Structure 1
Amino acid sequence: MKEYLEAGEFVTTHGVMGELKLYPWCDDADFITQLPRLFLGRNGEKEQKVLSARVHKGMCLVKLEGVDSMGAARALVRKIAYFSRADVQLPEGRFFVQDIIGCKVLDADTKQEYGTVTDVTHPAASDVYEVRNEQGEVFLFPAVKEFLGELKPEEGFITVRPIAGMFTSGGGNDDED
């Protein structure tokens, strides 16, 4: 599992004192306000202490140590901010999206493999997993309690209980002709 995960992207400056507006790539902008530091570089190359962070209109306004002017902040616009997994304690049964991507999708009862999770989107109240099979076909799977079995990203798989036709081309029942 990756040590440094994407928190979001700095999209613009805010004010003249070096604050940055961060577009969060997580469930909630409030998550960012709890982080003690951010990193510039996917491997934690440049650590930046977070002096303050607050939610503003769905974004996060962040003040980083050493970024004290609009010019210094402007240099970070369009850069990706990362956080360390070590700085976060997730509740039991919750996982980072990046840990779900790449997991094998197995039937909870038969252990049949349906494919691999290639993306996770959040179009509504529940996540939707994009699952790609060996033939390259893509299926969308609603990640709701009724269909999900076990989430075991640390072991590289999740189990599901799909309805008939959920993982077949056209979404229909293969037995019908």
Structure 2
Amino acid sequence: MNYYEVGRIINTHGIKGEVKLTITTDFAAERFQKGVRLYIEDQKEQPIEVKLQTIRRQKQFYLLGFSGYDSISQVENFKGRKLMVAQEDQQKLSVGNYYYRQIVGLDVWDEKNNQLGVVKEILNFGANDIWVVERPHKKDLLLPAIQDVIKKVDLENGKIEIELLDGLDV
């Protein structure tokens, strides 16, 4: 089974078994609900299945409590680990929307059919994502993930077609 990160446990919170989480998913409201099944990364074995019992927001973080984990000593070793969702539990996306894992690694081509590089990571700054394209012998190209720039995403062929607007390639 494949698992995908939805957050990272950065610390414990209080003495009743809660953990403090940074979010790495666009679907926090759906992902973090009471009774939802998630998995905690375990380097030695299969991920540890947990069920959400409590969910609270604290600034940009979430405070989560898991069923059966009622003390700080039970969750202390979760610090620094990924909180994940199973592939089977991922939501279906609408047409034109993609998971980061689907975009990272795709080849990027411009409107003149020149290969520019490969998407190496995606940054999220709020208004829209920025796709970071690694190019041989050049600085990384930062592409805003907007319709004016991203013309076509072809997952089958591993290719993204873009229009390189003035000022993007500096």
On whether the aligned pair clears a TM of 0.5, the verdict is yes
Q: Indicate the residue corresponding to 2:25 in structure 1.
A: 26
User: How well do the aligned residues superpose, as a CA RMSD in angstroms?
Assistant: 2.5
Deviation at 1:23, TM superposition (A): 0.9
- Whether the aligned pair in 2 keeps the contact of 1:29 and 1:60 (CA below 8 Å) is no
Q: Indicate the residue corresponding to 1:9 in structure 2.
A: 8
Q: Indicate the residue corresponding to 1:120 in structure 2.
A: 122
> What do residues 44-99 of structure 1 show as CA deviations (whole Å, max 9, x unaligned)?
53222223334332212222233221111222112221211211213312212122
Distance change >3 Å, CA 28–CA 57, structure 1 → 2: farther
- Whether the aligned pair in 2 keeps the contact of 1:23 and 1:60 (CA below 8 Å) is yes
For this pair of structures, how many residues does the alignment match?
166
- Whether the aligned pair in 1 keeps the contact of 2:40 and 2:81 (CA below 8 Å) is no
Query: How many Å separate the matches in 2 of 1:55 and 1:27?
Result: 15
Matches within 5 A, 1:1-177: 3-27=2-26, 29-34=28-33, 35-41=36-42, 45-92=47-94, 93-107=96-110, 109-135=111-137, 137-153=139-155, 155-164=157-166, 166-167=168-169, 171=170
- Whether the aligned pair in 2 keeps the contact of 1:7 and 1:81 (CA below 8 Å) is yes
- Whether the aligned pair in 2 keeps the contact of 1:19 and 1:63 (CA below 8 Å) is yes
Structure 1 unaligned segments of length 5 or more: list them: 172-177
Q: How does the TM-score come out when normalised to structure 1?
A: 0.79
> What do residues 11-66 of structure 1 show as CA deviations (whole Å, max 9, x unaligned)?
12223221111111123642431442223247953222223334332212222233
- Whether the aligned pair in 2 keeps the contact of 1:37 and 1:49 (CA below 8 Å) is yes
The one-letter amino acid of 2:93's match is P
> What do residues 86-114 of structure 1 show as CA deviations (whole Å, max 9, x unaligned)?
1121331221212211111122x433211
Distance change >3 Å, CA 124–CA 63, structure 1 → 2: closer
Distance change >3 Å, CA 55–CA 151, structure 1 → 2: farther
Identity of aligned residues (%): 24
Q: Indicate the residue corresponding to 1:175 in structure 2.
A: none
- Whether the aligned pair in 1 keeps the contact of 2:39 and 2:47 (CA below 8 Å) is no
> What do residues 125-171 of structure 1 show as CA deviations (whole Å, max 9, x unaligned)?
1111111123353111111121111223454222211124634xxx2
The one-letter amino acid of 2:39's match is L
Query: How many Å separate the matches in 1 of 2:55 and 2:7?
Result: 13
The one-letter amino acid of 1:25's match is T
Q: How does the TM-score come out when normalised to structure 2?
A: 0.82
